């Protein structure tokens, strides 16, 4: 089976992890600091805080933004559960804004309209989680303007977008978001097995994030309420978590970061090939957001069902039967039983729901060969013409 995504590891990655196993530090230590510094440099951000996964990163980013019960977090329904759940961890109410029918990212016009209404009703959000779906940034200029106008914090969920850029600058640079979250899960752009990171240019947020990932503890005299009792002394100044990343994971992430340019180049090549090879078929191909250069975590096509004899499910199953591990990103989050229990229903976000009835994620990963890609295209063409 050709998977939809997979990691690319080499001997250098393996050697980097083994070297940490021979060292004095296994958990959060010097390699983690090097990984954070390398990511901050690469993304042109002032601060990077690594944690055990992007879900934890989203959680502490929300805490650092001051999100609590009685507050609201808004995000897109076309995302992984974690982009919404982080709000619920803080006891906040979660709401969604429908997607743009071209980019499949949050629709900035719909966001502006919903904010106007929320201002009238006194229900403005404290946090917006803007998800760079498939590796392509949202309309971050517009979102930035709206955040200034309405005073919400922008957390960019760039789990798909390590190595992407927007407006000529790397995603994570902090020009268009207060905090940017990356995931290093194996299907994402680079991996640390499990891992996540928050990038920010705001020192007070960075300090808070560092504390929150380790029990709310500090050893910094400047953050303490009384003078140190001695060299052993630490204080817990707020409620935090154990969300630390290990040095083993950081070594893998750092080694993978060396190969990021090559990974992105190959993903862009594959995307351009799909565009070319799939043109003319009854499909809607990914539309581009002005100023965004995608990292191409996913390559999604939408079936134009009017022009196809088979159903969405039949095309999906036909591809699986042909040994192609297609997938579907995403089931609209508001239709999950947990969110239905929060009051959402079918019909609430029609663009995301229509998208869900048509979308298929095709294989997309750096080691996918041209021949394998040709086979995917051939099988898809066969099913569409059946
Ligand atoms: C993968 C993913 C996450 C969660 O990442 P983990 O590192 O697995 O916790 C969050 N948001 C989006 C959009 C993702 O794709």
Domain boundaries, the chain: 2-257, 260-384
- The pTM (predicted TM-score) of the whole model is 0.98
Q: What is the pLDDT of residue 326?
A: 98
Q: Does the C-beta of 54 come closer than 6 Å to ligand 1?
A: yes
Give the whole-angstrom CA distance, residue 132 versus residue 214. 28
Q: How far is the CA of 1 from the centre of ligand 1 (A)?
A: 24
- Tell which atom from ligand 1 comes closest to the C-alpha of 82: 10
pLDDT tens per residue across span 298-338: 999 999 999 999 999 999 999 999 999 999 999 999 999 99
Architecture per CATH, domain 260-384, reads as: Alpha-Beta Complex (3.90)
Q: What is the pLDDT of residue 190?
A: 98
Q: What is the CATH T-level fold of the domain 2-257, as seen in this structure?
A: 3.40.640
Query: 291-316: b or e for each residue (b if 16 or more CB lie within 10 Å)?
Result: ebbbbbbbbbbbbeeeebebebeebb
pLDDT tens per residue across span 196-227: 999 999 999 999 999 999 999 999 999 999 99
Q: Does the C-beta of 83 come closer than 6 Å to ligand 1?
A: yes
List of the chain residues with pLDDT < 50: none
Give the whole-angstrom CA distance, residue 319 versus residue 376. 8
Site to substitute for ligand 1 among 7, 54, 130, most atoms within 8 A of C-beta: 54
Beta-carbon contacts of 116 under 8 Å, excluding residues fewer than 6 positions away, are none
Q: Does the C-beta of 185 come closer than 6 Å to ligand 1?
A: yes
Q: How far is the CA of 302 from the centre of ligand 1 (A)?
A: 22
Q: What is the pLDDT of residue 184?
A: 98
Q: What is the pLDDT of residue 386?
A: 87
- Tell which atom from ligand 1 comes closest to the C-alpha of 55: 9
Q: How far is the CA of 247 from the centre of ligand 1 (A)?
A: 20
Residues marked active site are found at 188
Give the whole-angstrom CA distance, residue 300 versus residue 211. 38
């Amino acid at each position: 089976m050709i998977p939809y995504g997979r990691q690319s590891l080499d001997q250098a990655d393996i050697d980097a992890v083994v070297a940490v196993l021979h060292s004095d530090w296994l958990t959060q230590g010097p390699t983690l600091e090097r990984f954070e510094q390398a990511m901050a440099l690469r993304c042109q951000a002032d601060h990077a805080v690594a944690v055990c996964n992007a879900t934890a990163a989203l959680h502490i980013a929300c805490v650092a933004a001051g999100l609590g019960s009685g507050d609201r977090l808004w995000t897109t329904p076309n995302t992984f559960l974690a982009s919404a759940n982080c709000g619920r961890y803080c006891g906040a109410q979660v709401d969604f804004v429908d997607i743009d029918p071209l980019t499949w990212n949050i629709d900035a016009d719909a966001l502006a309209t919903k904010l106007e209404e929320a201002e009238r009703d006194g229900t403005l959000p404290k946090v917006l989680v803007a998800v760079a779906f498939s590796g392509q940034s949202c309309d971050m200029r517009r979102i930035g303007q709206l955040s200034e106008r309405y005073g919400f914090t922008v957390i960019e969920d760039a789990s798909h977008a390590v190595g992407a850029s927007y407006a000529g600058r790397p995603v994570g640079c902090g020009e268009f978001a207060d905090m940017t979250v990356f995931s290093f899960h194996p299907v994402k752009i680079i991996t640390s097995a499990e891992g996540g990171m928050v990038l920010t240019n705001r020192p007070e947020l960075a300090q808070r994030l560092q504390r929150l990932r380790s029990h709310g503890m500090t050893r910094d005299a400047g953050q303490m309420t009384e003078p140190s009792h001695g060299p052993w002394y630490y204080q817990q100044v707020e409620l935090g978590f154990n969300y630390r990343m290990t040095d083993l994971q950081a070594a893998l992430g750092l080694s993978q970061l060396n190969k990021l340019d090559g990974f992105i180049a190959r993903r862009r090549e594959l995307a351009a090939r799909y565009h070319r090879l799939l043109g003319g078929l009854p499909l809607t191909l990914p539309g581009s957001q002005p100023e965004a250069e995608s990292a191409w975590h996913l390559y999604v096509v939408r079936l134009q069902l009017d022009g196809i004899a088979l159903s969405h499910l039949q095309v999906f199953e036909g591809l699986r039967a042909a040994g192609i591990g297609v997938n579907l990103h995403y089931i609209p989050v508001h239709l999950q039983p947990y969110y239905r229990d929060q009051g959402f229903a079918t019909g609430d976000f029609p663009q995301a729901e229509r998208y869900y009835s048509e979308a298929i994620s095709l294989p997309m990963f750096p080691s996918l060969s041209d021949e394998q890609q040709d086979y995917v295209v051939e099988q898809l063409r066969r099913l569409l013409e059946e």
